[in-house]
Amino acid sequence: MSQPQPRRTIRELPDVLISQIAAGEVIERPASVVRELVDNALDAGARHITLRLLGGGIRLISVEDDGCGIPVEELPVALKRHATSKIVSLEDLESVATMGFRGEALAAVNSVSDMSLLSRTEGAATAFLLDGQTGEVRPAARAVGTTVEVKELFFSTPARRHFLKSENTELAHCIEAVRRHALVRAEVSFAIWHEGKIVEQWRSHPGEAGWNQRLADVLGEDFVTSSVNIDFRSGPVHVRGRAGTPDAARARADQQFAYVNGRFVRDKVITHGARSAYEDVLHGQRQPVYVLYLQMDPTRVDVNVHPTKIEVRFRDSREVHQAMRHAIERALAVPRAQLISGSDNIRPQSATPDMSFLSPTPSAPSTQSTWSQRGMAFGTDRSAEDPAKAMADLKALWGNTQQVEERAPGFAQGIAAGASKQLPQAHTAHEWPLGRAIAQLQGVYILAENSQGLIVVDMHAAHERIVYERLKQQLGTTQINSQPLLIPASFAATPQEMNTAENCTAVLQQLGLEVSALSAKTLAVRAVPTSLAQGDAVELARSVLAELAQHDAATVVQRAQNEILATMACHGAVRANRKLTLDEMNALLRQMEDTERSDQCNHGRPTWRQVSMRELDALFLRGR
Ligand SMILES: Nc1ncnc2c1ncn2[C@@H]1O[C@H](COP(=O)(O)OP(=O)(O)OP(=O)(O)O)[C@@H](O)[C@H]1O
Ligand SMILES: [Mg+2]
């Protein structure tokens, strides 16, 4: 993040340098003015920034800061085009650490509004006010810092004023402009006033811890609680920040904030890299949420490609794409259950309400038995400490994954063995993030108890994810096993399907499919993936052909393969209405804790939810 440099004199840039700076319109609407003025305040080292607006910023934008101020003799220079204190040479431009560097903003604003600059530097006897229209300078009262007032934006260019939207819309854009700054500068306080009323106020939060607080202030508590921390280095790129879990995704892409060396950017490489990290867990049009800060050597990124500096160009976009993708992917892969167990908001066990008055024996040995005695445990608990019995139960459970077994021998046993190692022991019931199974509800949900309250697991969805992740791991890069069909399935194909089938034989083969032409308009499916042999071969072939036609063959293999695996997993996963024993349920919970991305099923829906004691208490109006 940019640190204020010792202040230099404002000078006009040499012509050669001017010609190298991305030129173009910088002021489109009030929010562009706000962005430029807040940039300047931050560059001046401000700790408190106050924005006052009238009429959505169209009638007045005033930005007050407590930064270093502008010496009186430089006030008129500040309004000149290509006059800046931030760079003097091309080398400076290549490693620029300030928000500004063009010396363009104030001149541009001054040319389309009625503007004034009021500023005072440390040690000056008074402040000075510069009238942007007349160029007149006179002493005035003010503490150290600067106030820039911009009145009647576009007053002399009615055509441009005409393009502005309603005051409310322009106000929203102005707030958004400050929000982008606020998310990256937690140590600075911001206040926004509109028509004399305060509309946003974000207090300063110094230090690392304060930063989460700032995110919560600006984006809401929900953003923080439903996102994971990111701190990931990949070559020269360091990615930090927070990325939302898939269930925090939104219909619009309005909570995607990316910064490069402290500068807010809109960049396709970054957006795409982030999106691809969610490929496996977010389906449809849902938009992930994130606030991510990329740090890299300034020479690896060109900030001088767009007049408003909102776009950048990376020296190596691949490295940035990869860094984004891997940073988010890794962070999301950690099952949230693990994160919960490590967090300090766990309800202490003693806070669990005492239910013993419900039980016939005065001191129930554990909450488990308390629940049992109330007749709420539907499973059998008799083998909780008998690994051999549990193993047998598990084998029975995973018997449903027969197809999976064919594909990846030893797979089911792997799960069973892995699970048996971690069989729950009564005295450690509270050590598992997803808790200890207490019942199965209507053959659909597993209910478990942990220190925070109740855990509800969608058993099919959870198992589907576990099977899918295991399959992906097992398959690695090898090709999918295929099985010839006794009778080839033929279908009337479109010209595009004919074409794709002919051009992509090798890719199809890799996916376990053999599709060839029977006639000029008919295709025949001759082989399908072994594990999908029971399914509709034509439907499968057509959807794969459609995918292939749309995408570049190199990426489709990976994606389509995952889709096929997902379909397999769905067939292989334990079905609803299957009665599970407590051991089976506990084994599933332990597997979830250990499986990457187990918080969502393959369709992006959550696999489990925590219902806290507080929520339960609220349901029963306890403690009111
Ligand atoms: N709030 C402020 N506090 C102190 N100095 C300021 C402030 N605003 C502007 N200045 C001075 O005025 C100069 C011109 O500002 P202007 O925004 O036009 O250009 P810039 O910030 O240098 O570059 P850019 O056009 O990229 O924003 C700055 O270089 C800075 O020295
Ligand atoms: Mg500037």
pLDDT band at 349, cuts 50/70/90? very low
Chain segment 197-256, per-residue pLDDT in tens: 999 999 998 777 789 999 999 999 999 999 999 999 999 999 999 999 988 999 889 999
Structure token digits, residue 531: 């594990």
For 383-624, CATH number out of 3.30.1370.100, 3.40.50.960, 3.40.50.620, 3.40.50.80 equals: 3.30.1370.100
What is the whole-number distance in angstroms between the Cα of residue 103 and the centre of ligand 2?
6
What is the whole-number distance in angstroms between the Cα of residue 414 and the centre of ligand 2?
61
Give the mean pLDDT of 345-371. 27
Give the mean pLDDT of 73-95. 90
Chain segment 31-42, per-residue pLDDT in tens: 999 999 999 999
Ligand 1 nearest atom to the CA of residue 68, by list position: 4
Fold designation for 220-333:
Ribosomal Protein S5; domain 2 (3.30.230)
Q: What is the DSSP letter of 346?
A: P
Ligand 1 nearest atom to the CA of residue 84, by list position: 29
Give the mean pLDDT of 454-461. 91
Query: In terms of pLDDT, which residue wins out, 547 or 148?
Result: 148
What is the whole-number distance in angstroms between the Cα of residue 80 and the centre of ligand 2?
12
Q: Could you tell me the CA-to-CA distances from 540 to 148, 502, 531, 555 in Å, in that order?
A: 64, 17, 12, 18
Contact by Cβ (8 Å): 334, 319: no
Give the mean pLDDT of 11-33. 83
pTM score, two decimals?
0.66
Q: Where are the domains of the chain?
A: 11-204, 220-333, 383-624
Query: In terms of pLDDT, which residue wins out, 197 or 477?
Result: 197
Q: How far is CA 195 from the centre of its chain?
A: 34
CATH number 3.30.565.10 given to 11-204: yes
Ligand 1 nearest atom to the CA of residue 109, by list position: 18
The binding-site residues of ligand 1, defined as CB within 6 angstroms of any ligand atom, are 10, 36, 39-41, 44, 65, 67-70, 78, 84-86, 100-107, 146
The residue behind tokens 């096993």 is 481
Q: Could you tell me the CA-to-CA distances from 160 to 321, 481, 522 in Å, in that order?
A: 37, 63, 59
| Amino acid in the structure at residue 375 | G
What is the percent of the chain where pLDDT is above 90? Answer: 49
Task: Please report the pLDDT score of residue 123 as a whole number.
Answer: 94
Give the mean pLDDT of 334-355. 41
Q: Burial code of 159-180, b = ≥16 C-beta within 10 A, e = fewer?
A: ebeeebeebeebbebbbebbbb
